[in-house]
């Protein structure tokens, strides 16, 4: 088992947008009916069966997306980054080379066009969930959302991470720690022996971070 610990800044894009959305859907309301049937013994039985009454519904909402995050890194797995988000963008400060001293800084590897497309997909998904939450009734179907985006802006930022990379056997595993919040996500070996070793490595990693932050 070998491991390395790095403090690094990785690039992100952030996007803002004001959105107005109109939606339509079928609202479903549950009700119960008594159903009669014959059981395996030939006896007449009854039971309550849930049914749904469907009625049309519609509505609209306005929402402001503030600093929708899109990773611009290819060096750190995005699923791990998503698990340690968010980064508190309200704490952002102007670029200062002194902040980067002793840290690895990754260059942007995802361009603005691709990031903007990813951000729109994220915002569309969240907007759909917001509209779904407005649909009255017990359930719904056939939700359609028409969104109008305006006032779209972007920033490119650097966020701090601690990255533990360790080899076990022939495989490489990574653990990521959010440099702001301390949120942790990682990939670990599946067997209990390997998991134990990974936990020990993580403990060493956390102890190293504590030592570095106290210097």
pLDDT in tens, 116-172: 999 999 999 999 999 999 999 999 999 999 999 999 999 999 999 988 887 777 777
Find all residues with CB under 8 Å of 10, minimum gap 6, and list them. Answer: 71, 72, 73, 75, 76, 81, 106, 158, 159, 161
High-pLDDT (> 70) share of the chain, %: 86
Contact 180, 74 (CB under 8 A): no
Which pLDDT score is estimated for 138? 97
Mean pLDDT of the chain: 87
Nearest to 130 by CA among 24, 15, 56, 21: 21
Q: How many CB atoms neighbour CB 112 within 10 A? A: 14
pLDDT in tens, 15-49: 999 999 999 999 999 999 999 988 888 889 899 99
Instruction: For residue 112, give the DSSP letter.
Output: H
Q: Taking 60 as the threshold, does the pLDDT of residue 191 lie above it?
A: no
- CB half-sphere exposure, 87, CA atoms < 13 A: 26
Beta strand 2-38 with 104-105 is parallel
SS (H, E, C) 123-189: HHHHHHHHHHHHCCCCEEEEEEEEEEEEEEEEEEEEEEEEEEEEEECCEEEEEEEECCCCCEEECCC
pLDDT at 4 > cutoff 80: no
Does the reported pTM lie above 0.75? yes
Question: Rounded distance, CA 24 to CA 16, Å?
Answer: 25
């Amino acid at each position: 088992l070998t491991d390395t610990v790095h403090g690094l800044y990785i690039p992100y894009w952030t996007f803002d947008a004001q959105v107005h959305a109109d939606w339509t859907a079928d609202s479903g309301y549950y009700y119960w009916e008594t159903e009669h049937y014959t059981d395996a013994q030939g006896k007449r039985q009854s039971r309550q069966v849930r049914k749904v009454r469907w009625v049309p519904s519609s509505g609209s909402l306005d929402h402001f997306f503030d600093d929708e995050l899109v990773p611009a890194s290819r060096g750190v797995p995005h699923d791990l980054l998503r698990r340690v988000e968010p980064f508190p963008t309200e704490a952002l400060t102007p670029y200062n080379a002194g902040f980067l001293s002793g840290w690895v800084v990754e260059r942007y590897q995802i361009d603005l066009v691709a990031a903007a497309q990813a951000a729109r997909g994220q915002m569309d998904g969240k907007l759909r969930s917001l509209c779904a939450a407005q649909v009255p009734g017990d359930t719904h179907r056939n939700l359609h959302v028409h969104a109008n985006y305006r006032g779209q802006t972007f920033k490119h930022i650097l966020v701090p991470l601690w990255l533990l990379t360790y080899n076990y056997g022939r495989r490489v595993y990574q653990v990521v720690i959010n440099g702001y919040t301390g949120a942790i996500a990682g990939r670990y070996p599946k067997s209990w022996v390997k998991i134990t070793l990974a936990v020990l490595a993580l403990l060493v990693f956390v102890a190293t971070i504590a030592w570095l932050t106290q210097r």
